[in-house]
Structures are given as structure tokens and as C-alpha cells.
Amino acid sequence: MIDNLFQSYALNEAIELQNRIVMAPLTRCMADQDLVPTPQMVDYYARRADSGLIISEATIIRPDGQGYPNTPGLFNDKQISGWRKVTDAVHQKGGKIFAQLWHTGRVAHPHFFNGEYVLAPSAEKVTGSVPRMRELEYTLPKAASIDEITLLITDYAQAAANAIEAGFDGVEIHGANGYLIDQFLHFDANKRDDDFGGSPQNMTRFPLAVIDAIIERIGSNKTALRVSPGAYFNMAGDPRDREVFEYLLAQLEPKNLAYLHLGLFDDTMEFDYLGGSATDFVRANYSKTLMGVGGYTAQTGSAAISNNRFDLLAIGRPFIANPDYVAKVKSGVTLTEYNDDMLAELV
């Protein structure tokens, strides 16, 4: 039985979801050359509005945050207007949608913004090249100065305000998957010896400042966060990372976030320094609303909710293959299987 997936769920007094199935953020690289959402994106999101919540594809907070081609932004009026068409369409279908706010940090590339360098916690280069543009190899980042960190905090808060102006119901801060905020939280990427590195208190200082600035701007009930305690994507793990995330989760507990979301591709992964799965580690250290993700089916996700591993189930690739995922699951119709060719289409 998967009936629990179709129960309504209150994130807080302001936001109630019609069910516990969430459309996970899915980078589709379908914005136009000015990083403005397209009419095709309006249709794409509207068709999936029967999920309890849609989390938008990762959306950059400012030009130097871009690490992939044609990823949408939320830093100018055209982009805000483009997203307003998306949110209006989702709301007309009775859905809710959060914007995922993103800066890619050391996996950004100067090619996209005609820059001299990209910013990161430390001058620690990641190996490889830009997905979809393999001719662009990653560059050595510049360690962000204190002034640059201060401006980043301001720009995250402004992007959150822009999201609300664009009609989003809230924002999810992308603090996972090896991008900028996550880079501050892992010893592999953060080699700083100032107030932003070297200890759990210092390594969490920037992420917590971003969260606090956004809460001050739009409210905690509209603010969510995605985290990756287990390093696995563009990042190597370090046993010391555990203490960083234990400290972070303790600081998050009283902030009354809308939810906390795991950043995982596969939740069967285990991390020695976390004592098992990242999901179980977070659940043991955080008592508020938790969103699970990472290869779940409706059946396995429902069972995980029943077993109190998490409260909401985020579904990724099956939503690409099945715009009507919720209806199909509810009626027991066989799902269309995802394949990578579908990434070339926006349906």
C-alpha cells in the first residue's frame, strides 16, 4: 500500500502540500541564451503540477554562478518575468513550486560570464570538464575574499526575494552536490585558515549566513535547504566532515525551515564516516521535515515514510519520463521507463 504518499502534508502554517510526492530539481539546460525561462518550460512545469511540490531546476543567483549551458537565472527582470509565467501556470493547475537557488562555485566556468576566474572557498581545482561542453576544462578557482563572501550572502538573499517576486511559494537553497555552499562544508574543497575554514563552526559560517539572510528577507516558512553530508559528486569525503554536518544540523534545528532535502543520486550509498546512509545520518541529527531522494520507487518511498526515515519523497528521472507520474502511481498504471534520450526533449 502506498496510501501515505497521497496524504496532504503541512510544511508549516502557511504552506500545505496536496500530497507527499515532490518533483525533484532536474537540470534540463533549456533556458534561452539570456538564461530566461522559455514557453516550453512553462508547459513542462505546468504538466507536473499535481505533485505535492515542484522544486525548480537549479537556478543561478548571479552570472558567475553558471557552470552549465542554458541554466536559468533569477538575477534580472527578464528572468523574473520568465519565471512568473512558470509559477502562474503551476498555480493555475493547483500546484506549488519552490525555486532552487544555485551557485556552482569551483565548477562554474569563466566561459559563461566572460570572467577571469571562478570563486570557491579555496584555490582547489576539480578535475574534468563542463557537462554538455566537454571542450571546457575546469579552471583553478580563486579563494573568495571576505568582501566577496559578504557579497555572495547579499546576492543569495536578493535572489530569494526575486523568487518571491516571480511568484514562487518559497526557495530551496542548493547546499549540496559539490556546489558552492557544499564546498564550504567539506574539507576536500575548504582549506581556509580564517573564519570560514578549519573547524565546524567556521566551515558552516557562510552557509548559515546565507540561510539567515534569506530567512530575514522572505521568512523561514518559505526557506528550505538541500545538503549532502556524504561527499560523492565533484568532491572527496573526509572523516572530519561528519563533525561539520553534526554542527550544521544542530544549528538548523531551531530555524524552522520549510524542509531539509537530501542531495543524493542513489540512497543505497553508504558513507563510512557517517556510519551508513546520509539519510539515516540526517534523520538521527534533525527532527524536522525531511525530504528523501535517490532512486526510490513509489513503493520503496512509501515504505521509507512509513518507517519514519523521511517525511516527503522526491522523485527525479521518472518525472521526466512521466509528466503524469502522480496520476499513474495513484491508479497503478505502468510507468514509462526513463532513458537519456528524453533529456533532448521537453515534454
Strand positions, DSSP E, the chain = 9-10, 16-17, 21-23, 53-60, 97-102, 119-120, 129-130, 133-137, 142-143, 170-175, 223-227, 260-262, 290-292, 312-315
The distance of Cα 44 from the centroid of its chain, to the nearest Å, equals 19
Exposure b/e, 252-289, CB count within 10 A at least 16 = b: beeeebbbbbbbbeebebebebbeebbbebbbebbebb
179 labelled catalytic: yes
Distances (CA, A) of 176 to 4, 230, 260, 276, 332: 27, 9, 11, 18, 33
Tell me the three-class secondary structure of 155-222, residue by residue. HHHHHHHHHHHCCCCEEEEEECCCCHHHHHCCCCCCCCCCCCCCCHHHHCHHHHHHHHHHHHHHCHHH
What distance in Å separates the CA atoms of residue 310 and residue 313, rounded to the nearest whole number? Answer: 8
Nearest in space to 321 (alpha carbons), one of 302, 342, 300, 306? 342
Write down the catalytic residue from 9, 179, 286, 296: 179
Residues assigned a catalytic role: 179
